[in-house]
Amino acid sequence: MSSQVTSPTTVGVRIDQGRLRERLDALAEISPIPGGGSSRLALTDEDREGRDLVRSWMTDLGLDVTIDSVGNVFGTWKCADGAPVMTGSHIDTVRTGGRYDGNYGVLAGLEVIETLMASNLVPSRPLSVGVFTNEEGARFQPDMLGSLVYVGGLDLETALDTVSIDGARLGDELVRIGYAGPAPVPGLHPHAFVELHIEQGPILEAEGFTIGAVDGVQGISWQEVTIHGQSNHAGTTPMRLRHDPSFVAGAITVFLRDLAIRFGGNQVCTVGKIDLSPNLVNVVPAKATITLDVRNTDETILKRAESEIAAFLEKLANDEGVRIETRVLARFEPVIFDEAVVDLVEQLAIQHGHSVKRLPSGAGHDAQMLARVCPTAMIFVPSHLGISHNPAEHTDDQDLVHGANVLLDTMWHLANDSRIGAH
């Protein structure tokens, strides 16, 4: 286990706000959507364009750029020997993506390296910035797929054979966009990993904190539920004779909301995707396919939620005379980050004069996968009104700069203080 670092000090240099802003805006211009966000689903042509742009910035910085077999891209400043201190995140987005989710962590990582280089400050370890494939899990499931393969949590063949919601095979898409890289997976274990990300929730802003020292990630349970009923005429079929999947889908949606309210605390439930077939005004549907996103910071409670949902599906199937199939899309237990790295983030944020709050992440992140192989933590900055997965996602420039400067000092310490990090 790594030890505590007593009163770490700042290295004294600060990132270039204008350069970070410029890159965030340039990346956001790739497949822009109204409202200031972007839509770059994983391994689409838009994602490729974003990857190409970030890779060009890595090359311009003189970083050693590698691409692995699941398309993860790494830019490494090979200024020393040994395992690198790694940061990074993702640049794939959901369809209604904002300009900060993921992008900010990748570009702040480049900014940290460029600032240290410009200040002739050479760390005692290499510094690496990772761009992980399919973090969102919107097109291919599970989410955090690239970092999960990187740490050996999912074998490459299974990952490559994953089929997207639009019927494409992940391995074929990697080849098609030119990101089926040569570097083997699982990848090398970093000395330590720290990810900078917007909070995507309302807490830091509502409570007036500038920095979040993220101490973990809540558990995630994603299922696809397919409800097979009987298509019928909307006008002639009496209600008592119906086996209606759209009614069942609606009942499940209401049940999930009620469960979240009943459980309270951190419990959240979402039905984000509903597809009906044949999806016509005058046909009682034959089939409904919905997704369930259920999360909690407590694994025992999350398991209880899952079993209550399973029991409800069984009862519904009997009552409504439909057949219900379920498929797990993602299932990750809650993760606790490394105490010494969280502590370092917290102390450096205080050194920078910021108010800092420890909190778990409600969203999934690549850091939760890297935590399996090296000491890991995250840094949050506030999201305005907690809005995310929405083009209106916003974080003030000052907050973006504060987070990037805390990242800089955290990486500097992780690279130069042998008391902390992997042993």
Whichever of 46 and 143 has its CB closer to ligand HGY, that residue is 143
Decide if residue 109 touches Mn ion (CB under 5 A).
no
Whichever of 84 and 102 has its CB closer to Mn ion, that residue is 102
CB of 362 to ligand HGY, least distance (A): 7
CB of 33 to ligand HGY, least distance (A): 17
How many Cβ atoms sit within 10 Å of the Cβ of residue 10?
15
Separation CA 109–CA 128 (nearest Å): 8
CB of 351 to ligand HGY, least distance (A): 30
Contact 415, 341 (CB under 8 A): no
Whichever of 92 and 244 has its CB closer to Mn ion, that residue is 92
The position carrying tokens 């299922």 is: 223
Whichever of 42 and 63 has its CB closer to Mn ion, that residue is 42
- According to DSSP, residue 30 is labeled S
Separation CA 218–CA 43 (nearest Å): 26
Separation CA 260–CA 251 (nearest Å): 14
The two structure tokens encoding residue 327: 């498929």
Decide if residue 135 touches ligand HGY (CB under 6 A).
yes
CB of 220 to ligand HGY, least distance (A): 7
Number of residues located near ligand HGY, criterion CB under 6 A = 6
Q: Among residues 67, 89, 86, 68, which one has the least CA distance to residue 77?
A: 86
CA dist 45 → 40, 134, 174, 328 (Å): 8, 14, 10, 28
Whichever of 39 and 246 has its CB closer to ligand HGY, that residue is 39
Whichever of 123 and 364 has its CB closer to ligand HGY, that residue is 364
Which residues, numbered 143-162, are part of the site for ligand HGY (CB under 6 A)? Answer: 143
Decide if residue 364 touches ligand HGY (CB under 6 A).
yes
The two structure tokens encoding residue 298: 């407590």
CB of 123 to Mn ion, least distance (A): 26
Number of residues located near Mn ion, criterion CB under 5 A = 2
Of 46, 68, 92, 101, the one binding Mn ion by CB under 5 A: 101
**Chosen from ligand HGY, Mn ion, none, partner binding at 364 (C-beta under 5 to 8 Å by type):** ligand HGY
Q: Of the ranges 58-66, 134-142, 187-195, 306-314, which one interacts with ligand HGY (CB under 6 A)?
A: 134-142
Q: Of the ranges 96-104, 111-119, 339-347, 394-402, which one interacts with Mn ion (CB under 5 A)?
A: 96-104
Decide if residue 88 touches Mn ion (CB under 5 A).
no
Q: Which helix (H) or strand (E) holds 217?
A: strand 211-217
Decide if residue 102 touches Mn ion (CB under 5 A).
yes
Decide if residue 363 touches ligand HGY (CB under 6 A).
yes
Q: Which helix (H) or strand (E) holds 256?
A: helix 245-263
DSSP labels, 152-194? TSS-HHHHHT-B-TTS-BHHHHHHHTT---SB-SS-PPPSEEE
> What's the number of CA atoms in the CB half-sphere (13 Å) around residue 158?
10
Q: Among residues 268, 319, 318, which one has the least CA distance to residue 294?
A: 268
Contact 97, 387 (CB under 8 A): no
Decide if residue 366 touches ligand HGY (CB under 6 A).
no
Residues that bind Mn ion (CB under 5 A): 101-102
Residues that bind ligand HGY (CB under 6 A): 135-137, 143, 363-364
